[in-house]
Amino acid sequence: MLVSRKFSFEAAHYLPNYKGRCRDLHGHHWVVEIACSGEVNEKSGMVVDFAELKDFFIWVDRTFDHKLLNHFIENPTAENICKYIYGEFNLWCVVRQLQFEYIRIWETENSMAEMRGGE
């Protein structure tokens, strides 16, 4: 069974290795979706409590919200931010004996990067 949760944060970045408009400092309303899978616990009826997924977001929020992403990600493209969050979320899943499935991060309403389990 797969479960997921979406959340968002506000943050700025610039892309030093890019020659277009995004080279300069600018901000986004980032949307992140995380997903994991596992067996449904017979007693609770859940794979994982959605509140626990919300607790993971507390780490994301404290790390990213209203920050300049370049301070801790050298080239903070949507892809690299996705990889950064993967490092923490995969560990979070392992501790809870869950399977990491994917992370999606939207830089805009129409532009998204995704990292899937096994990649």
Active-site amino acid positions: 22, 66, 107
Going by C-beta distance under 8 Å and a sequence separation of 6 or more, which residues neighbour residue 74?
80
62 membership: H or E segment, kind and range: helix 50-64
**Cα-based distances in Å from 68 to 10, 14, 25:** 10, 9, 9
Q: Angle between the 50-64 and 78-95 helix axes, to the nearest 10 degrees?
A: 140
